[in-house]
Amino acid sequence: MLGVSTLRSPSSSSKADQHCGGFVGDHHVVFPTSGGGSDCCDGFAMVDVDDNLLDYIDFSCDVPFFDADGDILPDLEVDPTELLAEFSSTPPPDDLLLDTVSPAAVHVDDEAANNKPPVVPDDDVKQQQLAVMTTVAQEEKRLLEEQTCGDEKHVAASKQTTEEDSCAGAAVSDTKPSASASAEGHSKKKPAPGKNSHGKRKVDWTPELHRRFVQAVEQLGIDKAVPSRILEIMGMDDCLTRHNIASHLQKYRSHRKHLMAREAEAATWAQKRHMYAAAAAGGGVAPRTDAPHASRPWVVPTTTFGFPPPAPPPFCRPLHVWGHPPHAAAADAAAAAAAAVAAPPAPTAMLPVWPRHLAPPRPLPPWAHPPAVDPAFWHQQYNAARKWGPQAAAVTQGTPCVPPPAAAMLPRFPVPGMVPHPIYRPAMVPPPPPPPPPSSKLAELQLELDTHPSKESIDAAIGDVLVKPWLPLPLGLKPPSLDSVMSELHKQGVPSIPPAAATATG
């Protein structure tokens, strides 16, 4: 069932640690430590799921947005490629450069992107602004078409043949400058670079183009979005074909499905975190830095529980096309409604975003048996970074390599009542007892995950194993058994929670 065999080798990991130059998962991100009595949530951001979560959740975002002080790097928040496309003649609005993450700041829509002042205008001003917006929109479209269709469109406008031919260069940023047009069409074996066997250029889905696409999809609603209508709304039928849209839509839905699964996963973590919080509030103890076991790798001094509750994941701004930036959300109410349909509200009001790769790479214990993170993800990220990644390169080069805090050596499943998913456990461990009957949404989720873990949830869980900042466990160290952890907790006076109560209390 599970292809859980490979794991990141210590050598490659240490290599990445040294150089920190690779784009894929090789960054070190400074996570707040749980020591010193600081709140482990510091430096993390929560996301209001009332906004379209999928607009800015990108669990695969590769770029750390935290510097050595744990601050979000504001100048890396915006994709320069998009800025270039959208604000080629104007500087980006200030509110696109986010210093802090707040729902208001996060939700930067097209109005903000168009520099429209966020005030309620009177009718005259409104009409003027409408005209301006229309002009801006038209201009934006013109610029986009110029950008995406290329000059070829204008050259071939008079000898228009087919719509594919006329602007087949759609969004092509040819990365092979050696490919000359003169060589085109001579060989039937090998079509010219960037073109397929039919002479049609491959559509390069730039972030901006994708943003348009997503906007159209959201406007229509994910269920009613069909290629023809999307194409109609995008208004780029001279650059794209229905097949292009259909293909992209297919991929988009696939990715969306993936994200939804991860969203659900994040929701369960939010629920679990509430459990931790509730348990800590009920039976918390003072930090015991002088505890006899404090030097043991998996006993870390913390404020309350002996183990830190699951911290909300750091906010991660999406940068590649599948995780378009927030302002890609449609500006009007209809689009917002469609977006709401596209991203149904999660069980909790605040939902953590959990980019799996934001943690520093670290070796994993042999017993974990995690598979490699979906290689498709990394490859895509890598390619996206190469294609659109000035920001990625900048971040990569400028990101300090900070080793993970040594103090964050924790037990993996130390929480009373929490039964780790089977994939977390050693392979030879006998199967767990059947879960209790679902008495709550969380219990249902737990049951669902335990009994029918989807590929996505498995992937997500594996990703969690790989990156959970409080879960580093060096090679050679065996994790403590649940019993030993419980015993330790008992010594510290932490009351245990019956499993049923733990899963039933949301």
Partner DNA sequence: CGCTCAATAT
Partner DNA sequence: GATATTGAGC
Binding site for DNA (CB under 7 A): 164, 190-191, 193-198, 200, 202-203, 205, 225-229, 241-244, 246-251, 253, 321, 375-377, 379-380, 383
Q: How far is the CB of 224 from DNA (least distance, A)?
A: 9
Q: How far is the CB of 388 from DNA (least distance, A)?
A: 11
**95 vs 103: CA distance, rounded Å:** 12
Q: Which is nearer to DNA, 159 or 198 (CB)?
A: 198
Give how far Cα 161 sits from Cα of 164, 228, 243, Å: 8, 21, 18
Q: Which is nearer to DNA, 418 or 466 (CB)?
A: 466
Strand partners, 383: none
Q: Which is nearer to DNA, 85 or 231 (CB)?
A: 231
Q: Which is nearer to DNA, 117 or 375 (CB)?
A: 375
Residue 119's SS3 state is: coil
Helix (H), strand (E), coil (C) string for 420-468: CCHHHCCCCCCCCCCCCCCCCHHHHHHHHHHHCCCHHHHHHHHHHHHHC
Q: How far is the CB of 250 from DNA (least distance, A)?
A: 5
Q: How far is the CB of 346 from DNA (least distance, A)?
A: 24
Q: How far is the CB of 36 from DNA (least distance, A)?
A: 40
Q: How far is the CB of 273 from DNA (least distance, A)?
A: 30
Encode 42-70: b = buried (16+ Cβ within 10 Å), e = exposed. Answer: ebbbbbebebbbbbbbbbbbbbbbbbeee
**329 vs 215: CA distance, rounded Å:** 6
The pair of structure tokens assigned to 51 is 């906004």
Q: Which is nearer to DNA, 321 or 489 (CB)?
A: 321
Q: Which is nearer to DNA, 226 or 407 (CB)?
A: 226
Residue 341's SS3 state is: helix
Q: How far is the CB of 133 from DNA (least distance, A)?
A: 28
**128 vs 111: CA distance, rounded Å:** 14
Q: How far is the CB of 88 from DNA (least distance, A)?
A: 24
Q: Which is nearer to DNA, 219 or 241 (CB)?
A: 241
Q: How far is the CB of 194 from DNA (least distance, A)?
A: 6
Q: What letter represents residue 129's amino acid?
A: Q
Q: Locate all alpha helices (DSSP H) within 151-241, ordered by sequence.
A: 151-156, 163-166, 207-220, 227-234
Report how far Cα 415 is from the mean position of its chain's Cα atoms: 27
Sign of the CA dihedral running 431, 436, 442, 445: positive
- Identify whether the C-beta of residue 476 lies closer than 8 Å to the C-beta of residue 415: no
Q: Which is nearer to DNA, 106 or 168 (CB)?
A: 168
Q: Which is nearer to DNA, 138 or 196 (CB)?
A: 196
Q: Which is nearer to DNA, 27 or 200 (CB)?
A: 200
Q: How far is the CB of 398 from DNA (least distance, A)?
A: 26
What are the phi and psi torsion angles at 484 (to 5°)? -65, -35
350-351 and 47-48: which strand pairing? antiparallel
Long-range contacts of 97-101 (CB under 8 A, 24+ apart): 98/72, 98/74, 99/72, 99/74, 100/45, 100/72, 101/45, 101/47, 101/72, 101/315
**133 vs 114: CA distance, rounded Å:** 7
Q: How far is the CB of 419 from DNA (least distance, A)?
A: 32
Q: Which is nearer to DNA, 190 or 293 (CB)?
A: 190
| Residue (of 348, 350, 328) closest to 338 by Cα position | 328
